[in-house]
Amino acid sequence: MKKQPQMTEQTRQNLIDAFWSLYCEKRIEKITVREITTKAGYNRGTFYEYFIDVYDVLEQIEESLLPHPDKLPPIHPDTPAKDGFSFDEFFTMFERHSKYYTVLLGDHGDPAFQRKMKNSIKPKLKASLIAQGAKDDFQLEYLLEYNISALCGILSYWFASEEKPDAQAFLKLMMEIAEQGTRRKIEQLCHTE
């Protein structure tokens, strides 16, 4: 007797949800398969139909969240940001899975996830900048690392903050920082009456 695909996917998702609720509370080394299956209402055998171990659950979640090049928003020279990167589209992509990104990129998340995230974004952004005439050298690499790190950090901070500006004000600030640089934005803040 074959399992129905919807039931199979729902079972898998229930196990992921049970794992995630535990992962939000404690480190992965402290999570057991028994805890996950008890929380989800399944037996250990069911867990092993979908996952190798608790680390595999995390790996599968992370893999599903990484923005693969074909799923990234378009990067064009004529977008509002000078580097051709559309913050609002990236923000929308991040917002869709914010409950995961906020934890994974946060203080108690997986340190390797930020690196995976950067490595999934960097090639498309790099190719776009090279197509616009940027020289493929160490300066480009460091500029990309700086900007992508800042983007991941600021998005994580916004989603984790209890008191935060609305999304439009946040995106406006990100655009201003991208266009003017941090030094100019700080000067503006210091000279505001």
For residue 152, give the amino acid letter.
Answer: C
pLDDT band at residue 156 using 50, 70 and 90 as cut-offs: confident
> CB of 109 within 8 A of CB of 103?
yes
**Cα 143 to Cα 141: distance, rounded to the nearest angstrom:** 6
Collect all residues with Cβ–Cβ distance below 8 Å to 86 and sequence separation of at least 6.
73, 74, 75, 76, 79, 80
- Domain parsing of the chain, residue ranges: 5-64, 66-190
CATH of 5-64, one of 2.40.37.10, 3.30.465.10, 1.10.357.10, 3.30.110.30: 1.10.357.10
Q: Which residues contact 121 (CB under 8 A, 6 or more apart)?
A: 67, 72, 148
Mean pLDDT across the chain: 83
Name the pLDDT band for 132 (thresholds 50, 70, 90): confident
Give the single-character DSSP code of 136: -
| Cα gap 22→103, rounded to integer Å | 12
| pLDDT value, residue 139 | 93
CA distance 11 to 42: 9
Torsion angle (degrees, nearest 10) of CA 145, 23, 157, 153:
0
Portion of the chain with pLDDT greater than 90, in percent: 33
